[in-house]
Structure formats: C-alpha cells, structure tokens
Structure 1
C-alpha cells in the first residue's frame, strides 16, 4: 500500500513530546497512516533527540520537513508551525492554562494568545484542542478569531491517571517501597517563582526530616529545568540531597505513575501538582505565586484549598495535619475543572484526527492505556537512567 496518509508529529521539547505521546499512538495500528517525527529548533530542546531515539521513531530533519507536505500535523507548541505544510492540530502541553504573564492580571494567558496559535500572524491551525468547556471562554477572551476552531476533547493525562488508579499498589511495588513505607513526591514547575527555586533552602530540611521518619522522597523536576540548566548542573546542585536519599526522576521518564504511588505531594502551581489532586493523596503547597497564576484556573482554586508548607514546623506534623484535614469534597471542584470530557479524550481525539485526515476510524474503540510501571527508586546514579515509555 503506497497511498498512506502522512502525519507529522512536531516535538519541540521533551515536555511537548510527552504530551504528544498520549496522542499519536491512537493512529499507530492503522496501516493507512504513516506517522513521522521532526524536531524544530527550540530553547529547551535538550533531550529531544534522546526522546525520539527512545521511541524508535522515523525522524525527518526540520529543514526537510518544512519542504514536504503532510496530511496532518500534531504539535503542542507554536514555534515554526507557520512553516509546516499541513493542517495543524494544536494541543495544550500542560493542564488548563494555569499561568499568566507576571504583573498583567487581564492579559491573555500563555497558550491561547494569538502568537501561540497563529505564530508570526500567520495561518491558524485546523483545530485548537481544549480540555474543558470553560477553556472556550478563556479563548473567546484572548483570541476570539480562533474560537470556531476550538475542539473540547478532554485531557489525556487526567484519563490515563484515572484509569491507572486501581494499579496504585503495583506502582508502589515497582518503585521498591516496602510494606507500610511512605512516599513523599515533590513536584515543581520551572521559572523564577517555582518550588525548584526553593530547593536549596528546603530540600536539605525535607530530606533530613523525611529520613528520620523512614519516608522516601522523590523529586519530579520540570523538564525545562533540566534542559535550561543542563542535567549535569541539576544533579550537581542536588548532589548532597541525593546522598541523603532524595531520588530524582529523570526528565524522559513518565512521572505520573510515581505520583500515583505517593502518600503525599508537595508542589507548586505547575501541572504535575494539579494532576496529583486526582490521586487522593494530600497536597501541600511550597510555592503559590499569585502574580503568576491564572486566577480563572484550577491552580488558583488549589492555592485556596491546599495547606501551605512551612519549614518552621516539623515535616511529619504537617504531613499528618494535611492527611487529617484532607476532604475529597473540597478537591472535587478542582479535579472536575481539569476536563469536562472525563474518560473520553482518546475517543474524541481520535475522531478529530481522522476527520481531518478524511478517513473513517478503525472499527474498534479508541483505547485509554494504563500508565506503564515506573522504574524502581534506587540509590545514587541509578535514578538517572533515561528511558521513554508510552
């Protein structure tokens, strides 16, 4: 068969690649479709080559990709997309457009600005995928010209984490936790007001306090931190804490199964912390910069509900308090804001892609895959193995 439809997956960064990894496998079993990959220049592209190599994907150099024609392109970011000769389906690379520009309370939120969806004032995408109906109101406020292109498909991370909740004990066993042992996950976004910027002051205290209580600690650091500073630098900055037992999840590993295995999560205003509310584990916040949080997002609601971490009191006391005060009903409005199509992302997204390809869908349901088992938490450099799992 030589008349296959071609789909170009545009991987600017590992963060974008991870989001797209929840999407393009929906096409993978169809012999009528050939999926190809490319990697445009990007400030945070460190690790993309390893990511694509780990997939075993067919990679077209960017300089060649922009000269070819494709039947569809998938992207989670705008850089260079005006050069791609294909109908573009643009997907968000994180949860719910959580951030805003610092000091600009009514400014368009990143991800929905004209420059994010029509870079350089060029062509609009064929579709703008949104997770929740409420995001259409944000789009109408920030870029009304793109509103007819909106497709509310849901959120793949929400659906895969929710589908994987029954396997929580298996994830904990895969991590190497002993019976009854507790796990504390630290989740951080990137930027000058992230939890990561407090690691130098807080991580030694967290490691020492957790170690005394036989609580294992794992840090899930945003890939842009690894890319922006370099893996050697991040490991060097955290070398003493690693020696004290803090485990680092490498940037290409799937962080979601680790969060599913956690007993508590300490985080900030990033996507990983918001997704952690799906697990039922108590969440504490170490950084909630109001000037950087979109006030209409679930991150703002989480900042009003979750307890704030303080180094002035013992860690175990605060973890116990968070567990005692945790009320699922208080978090339900936050988790319900992640998606208005719970459990239906795969179905909706596959239908959208096949509609733009001009093909009928395969005659079987689109699958929401459970998350793969996480690598075990090991001591020292063993935590730094790079791998890509779907």
Structure 2
C-alpha cells in the first residue's frame, strides 16, 4: 500500500517525511494525456518546495495509465480519495471529472493545436476549445487555459469567450523538443539500427474509424508487399487510444504478421518523436503526429484526411490541401518518389508555413509554462533557466518487431526477415 493511500489529508501528512510542501496534482486520464503532461510536471524537478501527486480518473481510454505511472515511480492517489483533498495546483490535458477536483487548475491541449471537430448530431465543435472542454461539469473557470498559438484566441473567443481572461499563450512542448532534436537525426537513425542508405517510412495514425488505422486492412498488405526490404524499413506509430480501445493484445495480434517482414510496431508508451525525426517519409492522416511531421523535413503522404473531422481553420486543414493523397491505383514506391520530388521542388516551404502555425512561441514553452505554474503556485521560480531538452535515443527498430501474442512460433521467414533487417 502506498503511503498516499490514506483516508484524509491529516493521515496523508502523517506518512510524509518532507511536509509543508506545495501540492501539485497531475490528472492522468489517458496515456496520451500523461505523456503531454510529463513535459509540464518535469519542469518542477529539483524543487524541494513542491510535492507532485498523480491520479487517474475513469476514462474509456484509460488502459495503460496505471502501468505508465508505475514506470514513473509516481505517488498515485486513487481517484475517489484524490477528489476529497485540496491542492495548490492541478494539471490536466482533458476535461473528465475535473469538477470534482479542489485546486487552481491549468488545462492544456493534449495534441498539436486544435485539429479536430467533434460531430454531435447536426452540430460540430472544435475539440478542446468549447465550453464542455473548458468548464466541464459546471465547474468554475480554470486558473489558466494554455494555448499553443495566439491565433487560438480567436477560436476561444467564439466558442468560450468567458475563458479569454484566463487564456495564456504558452507554446507547444512537442514542437520545441522536435526542433531542438533535429540536429541529432543521424544519432537517432543509428540507434534505431538503420544502415547507411537505408530509408525509414513512418506510418502514423490517429484514432477513430476515419483514421489511417481505420483502413489498415487495405494499407498493411501494400506496406508488406511493396516497401519491406528493398533498402527500406517501416515503423507503425499508432495512437494510444487504438491500443486502449481494442486492447494491446488485440492490436499486436492484428499486426503479428508484421514481425516476419521487419515492420516495427511502436508501443503506445514509447517516445515516438525520435522515430518521426529519423523518418525519410511519413504516411499519415489528420492527427497530431502527422502535423508534427511538417517539422522534420520529411515528405508526407496522406492515407486519410476526412474533411468532416478536421477543424477547417487549423493547420491540419492546410496540410490536407497541400500534401499528396495516397492513391490505390499507383504503387507506393512511385508515390513516395513523387512526394519526395514535390517536397524538393516547392512543398518544403509550404510545410514550413504550416509548421509555423503549430505555435506562436517557438522554443519558449518551457520558459512560459514554468513561469505560469509558479505564478499559480505563488512561488518564485528556481534560479536557473528552464531548458528544452533534446529527445533521448530510441531503442532499435527490431525490439519493436517481436511478437508476444502467443499466437504462433518463429519461422524461417521470420529469421530471414530479421537477418535482412539487422544486416
């Protein structure tokens, strides 16, 4: 039993060694949310004035959160008990259950910009900027609503104007870490096990029926038959909600055949950003990861870009109008070559313009976010800069090729594919 699994604030304090600290609660609804919040609560490192606690409210895509927090070594409060305590600050990247938390709240987007529309009957709203996202369950306004770009103020003014006084344009942490890590691209490629001259195709998917994974049964045979081997490697980066919604075993079972062909299936807990930086091409959809791909200077093919799900004024809509659409009538090889030629001729500049819409505070997220948190906490900031760190080296692609579904045994073809992939 954790020292924090007690029934009252008094009992909680009794079990602590360092007492009288400012208490920060991280609300971890899903793996996607907690990975985004990790960029925030890590800014509190080394500050002995602050105790960070974690809780995981019920969520349809909450699978994997407990394991993720366990790997962090977090002090986790059960949701029912977390809702009975008071905190000096709460951090959240999603709205569910926040009406039960007693704390000044900072809310953040959990992806790039505000890309998606939620269709509710005949109505549609931009996910993340509407009143249900900012003042859920009838709670009062947050202490701060974090926005990545000053243009998002216009959307907020239309959808939840009462939140404008607490809006703070802070930036985007993933944007900043990818940009800071671009010089390490050769190191990431070596760590992934890519040979000299070998090309990496990153196939990325958001979640939902209209995502690229929603039609994976049509795409996967083409990846296997047209791209595997021949001097190329393929990595699948699938949204954690797909893993949570269907179950990790099922996703691995569906993709078990990938192993024999050397396709890497990146698990939801892994840091996908270094794989994206290392990619030579990106096959994606209307999700955040594809949009972040515009930072990497890799040509992009869109396997899916459903107009009805895309915020029409977002950079994702601009990317859907710019990137070539994957065609069923031509080979993948020829389409990758076409995308590379288009990128070299003129799309590089267009992608750069789209990427500039991810944040209006490039390189300044850590500085702005730390300043905001300490203002809400009522503390002075530590006397050292808030640094944007480069991404860590990834594991080898081959470590993500192993099948652990228990559905079969290795074959000679498996061994041949492994030998080819690691030669």
Per-residue CA deviation, residues 100-123 of structure 1 (Å, 9 max, x unaligned), is: 124889733111111111112222
Greater Cα shift, 283-292 or 306-315? 306-315
User: 2:197 maps to which residue?
Assistant: 180
What SS is found at the alignment partner of 1:2? Answer: coil
User: 1:195 maps to which residue?
Assistant: 212
Structure 1 distance, partners of 2:122, 2:397, is 41
- Report how many residues are paired: 385
| Cα distance, 1:242 vs structure 2 | 3.2
Greater Cα shift, 137-146 or 107-116? 107-116
User: 2:240 maps to which residue?
Assistant: 223
Task: Give 2:320's match in structure 1, choosing from 303, 326, 347.
Answer: 303
Structure 2 distance, partners of 1:380, 1:344, is 33
| Cα distance, 1:372 vs structure 2 | 1.1
User: 1:37 maps to which residue?
Assistant: 54
1:69 lines up with 2:89 in the alignment: no
| Cα distance, 1:211 vs structure 2 | 1.8
Structure 2 distance, partners of 1:293, 1:8, is 32
Q: What root-mean-square deviation, in Å, do the aligned CA atoms of Structure 1 and Structure 2 show?
A: 1.6
- The alpha-carbon distance between structure 1 residues 212 and 34, as it changes in their structure 2 partners (threshold 3 A), is closer
Structure 1 distance, partners of 2:307, 2:19, is 54
Contact 1:202/1:311 (8 A) holds in 2: no
Greater Cα shift, 276-285 or 231-240? 231-240
Structure 2 distance, partners of 1:155, 1:212, is 36
1:168 lines up with 2:185 in the alignment: yes
TM-score (norm 2): 0.88
Greater Cα shift, 319-328 or 255-264? 319-328
Contact 2:106/2:146 (8 A) holds in 1: yes
What SS is found at the alignment partner of 1:23? Answer: helix
Per-residue CA deviation, residues 11-70 of structure 1 (Å, 9 max, x unaligned), is: 000000010011101001111111111111111100001100111111111111111111
Greater Cα shift, 34-43 or 262-271? 34-43
User: 2:168 maps to which residue?
Assistant: 151
User: 1:388 maps to which residue?
Assistant: none
Contact 2:98/2:137 (8 A) holds in 1: no
What SS is found at the alignment partner of 2:354? Answer: helix
Structure 2: runs of 5+ lacking an equivalent:
1-17, 406-423
Structure 1 distance, partners of 2:378, 2:337, is 55
Structure 1: runs of 5+ lacking an equivalent:
386-390
| Cα distance, 1:3 vs structure 2 | 2.0
| Bigger radius of gyration among the two | 2
1:1-390 matches, cutoff 5 A: 2-102=19-119, 107-326=124-343, 327-378=347-398, 382=402
Structure 2 distance, partners of 1:212, 1:364, is 48
| Cα distance, 1:380 vs structure 2 | 6.8
What SS is found at the alignment partner of 2:228? Answer: helix
| Cα distance, 1:214 vs structure 2 | 2.4
Structure 2 distance, partners of 1:381, 1:78, is 35
Task: List structure 1 segments (4+ residues) > 6 angstroms apart after TM superposition.
Answer: 103-106
Per-residue CA deviation, residues 277-326 of structure 1 (Å, 9 max, x unaligned), is: 10001011000101110000000000011011113212111111111110
Structure 1 distance, partners of 2:121, 2:297, is 33
Per-residue CA deviation, residues 329-368 of structure 1 (Å, 9 max, x unaligned), is: 1112200000000000000000000000000001111011
Structure 2 distance, partners of 1:99, 1:54, is 31
Structure 2 distance, partners of 1:79, 1:175, is 37
Structure 2 distance, partners of 1:2, 1:48, is 27
Structure 1 distance, partners of 2:87, 2:390, is 30
Contact 2:239/2:268 (8 A) holds in 1: yes
Structure 2 distance, partners of 1:201, 1:379, is 25
